[in-house]
Amino acid sequence: MEERLLRDINEETNWALETAQRIYEKEKVVAVRNRSKIPYTAKEGVWDDHTTDINWWTNGFWAGQLWLLYNAFGDESFKKIACDIEDKLDAVLMDYMGMDHDSGFKWLLTSVADFKMTGSARSKNRALLAASDLAGRLNPAGGFIRAWDDDGSGERAGWAIIDCMMNLPLLYWAGEVTNDPRFAQIAIIHADTASRVFIREDGSVAHIAVFDPASGEFKGTLGGQGMAEGSSWTRGQSWALYGFSLSYRHSGKKEYLETAIKVADHIISQINDDYIIPVDFCQDASCEYEDSTAAAIIACGLLELEQYAAGNKAAIYHETAICLLHTLADKRCNWSPEDDELLENCSAAYHDKEHNFPIIYGDYYFTEAVLMLCNKDLFLW
């Protein structure tokens, strides 16, 4: 580790610039082939299309990646496809049951990106509608933002998940552009609760927290997409790391920085020398389930966190992010322009039937992290 910490900064920047160029060269071919799609995963090198499942939570990531690349390289074709996806997401805004807590993933990466790049009043309006819906999901009794709707039974009325930490930046953004503090206040209420109920003493993270929706009483946690209750689902770790780092950026609350550091230190203590990230840090060593998306998100979170960490921690966070990204680029990226996906060996959940397949948000976060390293990023959070 000490030898790697001495890596020449120019060499690192050159690697990032070269890798960003490789991403661009691939994606300008892939984008033309998939200009009418909203992808989630690929089979045999071909992106699927979630346009017919327009409410799906990942439907902003392809547009987000294209906005990142448009900002970095100026290719107008990326902008056109991203704007088309944004238009399609209007159907979600008109569907009450289609809305959920993932409004940040959908509209930060589409409408907020568009507004930041073009000043579009229409995009600003869309993002504010989404932010208002997200704010309206706050349960004031329990101090949490409800994750998902249900069939009216109320079965999920008391459910919150760690992923929502990454949706809170939509509220911070809305508060900034409207000069209305209630948006940030709602984000902080949820983040305070999340820090209390999701983060364990050792820095590992629960996926689902359950509350009594009427009284607000905290009832306990569920294993969710991890291996089991009490285990350490790696993508949940990544959401917490990046999410609390971002809430610190936006709010300045020292408690969020302390939480992010606690989670980061747990993650680093669990990473093997090969820097391959499993689905769950608690899974058996013989289990070959991987999640490259978690690796990419962890890298983004560490690059964010290093800006606020003191002393040697900042260097360790940076170096860990670099090692994760080099591993992904060398061992888990498909650089062929004939195949649509970039990142491979991703997994959605430990108990799913399928593992080690492409997922679009892996491509997004890998692209974001690389562009962060070469100062070509567009900050969307």
Q: pLDDT tens digits for 326-352?
A: 999 999 999 999 999 999 999 999 999
Mean pLDDT for the chain? 97
Is the pLDDT confidence value at 308 over 50? yes
Tracing tokens 């993508």 back to the chain, one arrives at 235
Tracing tokens 């805004």 back to the chain, one arrives at 93
Report the alpha-carbon distance of residue 247 to residue 162 in Å, rounded: 13
Report the alpha-carbon distance of residue 200 to residue 270 in Å, rounded: 15
Specify whether 84 is catalytic: no
Does pTM top 0.75 for this prediction? yes
Is the pLDDT confidence value at 5 over 70? no
Q: pLDDT tens digits for 106-150?
A: 999 999 999 999 999 999 999 999 999 999 999 999 999 999 999
Reading phi first (left if > 0) and then psi (alpha if -120 to 50, else beta), residue 345 is in left
The 3 state secondary structure assigned to 213-260 is: CCCCCEEEEECCCCCCCCCCEHHHHHHHHHHHHHHHHHHCCHHHHHHH
Structure confidence at residue 3 as a pLDDT band (50, 70, 90): low
Degrees, nearest 5: CA angle 325-328-329: 85
Q: What is the signed CA dihedral for 114, 120, 125, 130, rounded to 10 degrees?
A: 0
Tracing tokens 């260097």 back to the chain, one arrives at 315
Report the alpha-carbon distance of residue 178 to residue 189 in Å, rounded: 19
- The whole-number pLDDT of residue 9 equals 77
The answer to whether the beta carbons of residues 101 and 70 sit under 8 Å apart is no
- The whole-number pLDDT of residue 292 equals 98
- Among 102, 133, 280, 377, which one carries the catalytic annotation? 102
Strands (E), 5-124: 42-43, 46-47
Specify whether 102 is catalytic: yes
Report the alpha-carbon distance of residue 175 to residue 192 in Å, rounded: 18
Tracing tokens 């039974």 back to the chain, one arrives at 153
Domain range annotation of the chain: 2-373
- Report which of residues 354 and 311 the model is more confident about: 354
* Chain centre distance of CA 264: 15
- The whole-number pLDDT of residue 10 equals 86
Q: pLDDT tens digits for 204-227?
A: 999 999 999 999 999 999 999 999
- Among 100, 133, 163, 377, which one carries the catalytic annotation? 163
- From 105, 103, 61, select the one nearest 82 (Cα to Cα): 61
Cα–Cα distances (Å) from 303 to 44, 61, 105, 253, 368, in that order, read: 33, 20, 19, 19, 11
Rounded to the nearest 5 percent, the helix, strand and coil shares of the chain are 55, 10, 35
The answer to whether the beta carbons of residues 324 and 275 sit under 8 Å apart is yes
- The whole-number pLDDT of residue 6 equals 47
- For residue 89, how many C-alpha atoms fall within 13 Å in the half-sphere facing its CB? 32
Q: pLDDT tens digits for 64-118?
A: 999 999 999 999 999 999 999 999 999 999 999 999 999 999 999 999 999 999 9
Tracing tokens 């890798």 back to the chain, one arrives at 19
Specify the range with the lowest mean pLDDT, choosing from 123-127, 148-152, 229-233, 284-288.
148-152
Count CB atoms within 10 A of the CB of residue 293.
Answer: 27
Report the alpha-carbon distance of residue 195 to residue 215 in Å, rounded: 20
The DSSP code for 199 is B
Say if strands 208-211 and 218-222 run parallel, antiparallel, or are unpaired. Answer: antiparallel
CATH topology of domain 2-373: Glycosyltransferase (1.50.10)
Dihedrals phi, psi of 255, to nearest 5 degrees: -60, -35
- The whole-number pLDDT of residue 4 equals 52
Q: Is 289 helix (H, G, I), strand (E, B) or coil?
A: coil
